[in-house]
Amino acid sequence: MVLLDIGDHVPADLRLVEAVNIKLDESSLTGESVSISKDVTPVNPDTPLPERASMAWMGTVVTNGRAIAVVVATGMDTEFGRIARLTQTVGQETTPLQRKLAVLGKQLGIFSVGISIVVAMVGLLMGKRLLEMFLTGVSLAVAVVPEGLPAVVTITLALGIRAMVRRRALLRRLQAAETLGAATVICTDKTGTLTQNEMTVQRIWLPAGEIHVTGVGYEPKGSFESNGQAIAYRERPDLLALLETGLRCNHARVCKEDQEWREIGEPTEAALVVAACKADLLPAEHPRMVSEFSFNSLRKRMTVIEDQPEGLIAHVKGAPEIILERCTRILEGACERDMTDADRQMVNAAYQSLAQDGLRTLAMARRILPNGICLDEEHVERHLTLLGIVGIIDPPRPEVTNAIQLAHSAGMRVIMITGDAPATASAIAQRIGLPVRRTVTGTELADMDDGKLKSALNQDVLFARTSPEHKLRVVKLLQDMGHVVGMTGDGVNDAPALKQADIGIAMGLRGTDVAKGASDMILTDDNFASIIGAVKEGRRQYENIQKFVRYLLSSNAGEVVAIFFNILLGGPLILLPVQILWMNLLTDGMTAVALGVEPAEKGIMQRLPRDPKERILNRHGIIWTLLLGSYIGFATLWLFHHYLTSGRENAVFVAQTVAFTGIIILEKMNVFNFRALHEPLSKIGYFSNPWVLIAWTFNAGLQVCAVYVPFLQKVLHTVPLRLADWVLICVVAGPIFIVTETYKWMDWQRAKRSDTYRHVGGPIHPHIT
C-alpha cells in the first residue's frame, strides 16, 4: 500500500483504493496542462490514458488531496517504462548533412582516382617518363580532393555551437543546427513551448461588465482594465469581493525562488492568488477557517467557511453551471439583488463565451450565513450570491505569434501535437495565428490508416489527446513523405518522437531527463521563438558550408585544369605535390574557416527550405565551380608558360614560383565571390566579416614568406620574385572577382524587379510529393 499526499511524486503505477479530493499533475506523461481529478471508480481498459481516473502514474505529482493506493506496476512495466522501451526501438539516423557529405566524398574519391589514371595514361602515351607521370598523378589526386574540408566543416559547426547558445539553444550533436535549418515541418507541443505553462487569470466577467487582467504567469504584477482603460480597482467592490472569494477559497500560494515566481499547489488556484495580489489582497497569515467542503469530480465545487466580524461567510467556487443553479442573488456593482431569469441567461452566455475562447471558467459566489445554520453542504451551499466568472488560461508566449509568422514566411509548416484537450489546443492555435482547418484526436488518429493520415497531414491539422505512439507515427509518416522533421517536447511521452525526428528539441527548464536524453538540441528558455532563431542559425551554417565547399572545389578545379592542360602542352611539372598540399591544407583551409563564420544573408528567412534531396553541390554550384575553376586554371597556365618562355635565368623555377603564387592569389580573390550566394558583396557589406579579411591578409603574408624566406624556399622549391611579377599576378587575378561581382549585381537587380527573391511557403512544401 502507498499513501499519497500533496507534493508527493508517484513512485510507481498505482491503483487508487481510497481517495480524498486528490488531483495529479500528469503533464510530463500526457501533456495535460491542468491537474487531473482522481477517484476510485473503475474504468474500461480501453479508456485513453488521460481519462483513467482511478490510476496514478509513476512520475506524476500530487497537487491536491490524499489517497491510498496499491502498486500495479514498477520499473519498465510502468507507463514510463513502456515509453522508454518504445524510445529504445528508434534507431539513430544520420543527418542530411552527413549523408550529403558522404556522397560528395565518394564522388570526389572516384573522380580523383579516375582523373589521375587518365592523365597518367595520356602522359605515358605522349612519351613522358613513368616517374614523372606517377608524380603528376599524385599531384592531381591531391589537387582534386579538398583535404581540409572535414576539418573546416567540423570547425564551422563547432563555432556554430557558440552562436546557438546565444540563441538559447544547446546542441547535443554537432550537426543538429544544420539539420534544423533544413526542416520543412516543425511538430510542436503546446504546454510550456507555445504557452507559458503558468495558469493566468485573463478575463473576469462581472454583472456590471467584463474586466481584463494584464500580466502573465505567477508574478503578482499587472492591472485591471475595462474597454482598454485601467480602472481603479479600489472603487470596485464587486471586483474586490470576487477576488477575495477566490483568495479565501484556496489552498495554493506563490513564492519567489531563484528570481522566479513559482506556484505551490493547484495551478488554477495559484492563478486566483496572483489575481488577488494584483489588487493588493494578500492571503491571511492566520485564516479563521471554520469548515471546508472540498472539491471533487462529483461536486465540482469547493466551499470554505470563515469566521469574520460580520459573521460566518461561505466562499464558494466551482463549475459555472453547478454554482449558478445554487445562486438566488447576484452582486451588481455595489448592489446585491435577487437574480432574475434574464440574469441567468446572461451568466450562461458569459461563461460559454469564455469557454469558446479556450479559457477554463470558474464561478465565484458567497453567502453570509445566518446564525444557527447547520454547517453541512446541503444547508450552506444554497441561496448563494453570484459574484462573477473567472476565465483562466495558460497564455501563449508573447513571442510565439511573430515566430509562427516567420516560420510561415520561411516555408516551414508548424503542426501542434499535444496531449491536451481539443478545445484548449484549438483556442491557443487561434490566438497565436496557427492555421487549423481540422482537429484530430488520438482516438480518431488510431482509427486512420496511413493513407488517410497522410491526407490529413497535407492539410492544416492539429492533433490533440495524443499518446507517444501517435506522435511517433506522425513523425515517421512525415519523414516518409520526404519532410525533414523537427519535433519539440518536454515529457517522457515525447521521447520516442524526439528520437525519431531528424532534429529532436527538448525543453531545458521543465523538460524531463528522458526527453533531454532523446533530443539533439535543448532550449534553455523553453520558448518556441528560440526554435525559429535556431532555424536561422542552421540555415546560415548550411549556406556557409555550401560557400566554402564551392570555394574549395573551384580552387581545386583550377589546380586540376592547370596540371591537366600543362601535360597536354608538354610542359614541365607546373605544381609540385608539396605546393598543392600547402595550398589545400594551409591557405585554403584558413580562408574556408573564415567563410564559415560569414553572417546570415538578409533574406535567409524569406526563402523556402532547401529541397531535402538537393546536393551540397547542385547544378548551379557545379556550373560556377567549373567556370571559376577554369579561369583559375587557365590563368595559372598562361602565367607559367609566359615565364617559361621569357628567357630569364632559371626560367623553369621562376615559372613554377609564379604559377604557385599566381594560383594562390587567384584563389584568394575568388574567395570574395563566395561571401554571398544570392547577393552582390556590395549589399552584404565589404567589412561585415572581418575574419575573411584577416585570413586573406595572413595568407598573402604566408605566400610572401614562401617566396622569400630561405628555409621555405627550400621546402617549397621557390625562388624570389620581382615587383613586376607581383603586379602581373594581381592584374591577372582581378577579373575573377570583378566580372563575377558584376554578374551577381545584375542578377540581383533582375530578381528584385521580378520579386523572385522573396518566397513564402504554403502548407505543402513544393519539393515534397
CA of residue 130 relative to chain centroid, distance: 58
**DSSP H/E element including 392:** strand 384-393
- Per-residue CA distances from 448 to 185, 187, 423, 431, 477 (Å): 21, 19, 21, 29, 12
Length of the chain: 769
Grid cell in block for residue 476: 515517421
The vertex-643 CA angle with 638 and 648, nearest 5°, equals 170
511: Cβ–Cβ under 8 A, 6 or more apart, which residues? 489, 490, 491, 522, 526
Grid cell in block for residue 177: 543546427
Q: Where are the beta strands (DSSP E) in 249-383?
A: 253-257, 260-264, 289-293, 301-308, 311-318, 327-332, 335-338, 360-368
Q: Are 241 and 254 in contact (CB under 8 A)?
A: no
Q: How many helices (H) and strands (E) does the chain have?
A: 27, 26
Sole residue written with cell 598543392: 580
Active site residue 189: yes
Determine which one of 13, 39, 189, 343 is catalytic: 189
Q: Are 168 and 527 in contact (CB under 8 A)?
A: yes
Helix axis angle for 528-568 and 96-125, nearest 10°, is 0
Grid cell in block for residue 760: 513564402
Q: Are 404 and 450 in contact (CB under 8 A)?
A: no
The bridge status of strand 61-73 relative to strand 2-4 is: antiparallel
3-class DSSP state of 2: strand
CA distance 346 to 725: 93
Sole residue written with cell 497535407: 458
CA distance 451 to 17: 44
Q: Are 477 and 457 in contact (CB under 8 A)?
A: yes
The alpha helices in 251-386, defined as continuous H runs, are 267-278, 320-324, 341-356, 377-380
- Per-residue CA distances from 283 to 245, 265, 287, 311 (Å): 11, 14, 8, 19
Residues noted as catalytic: 189
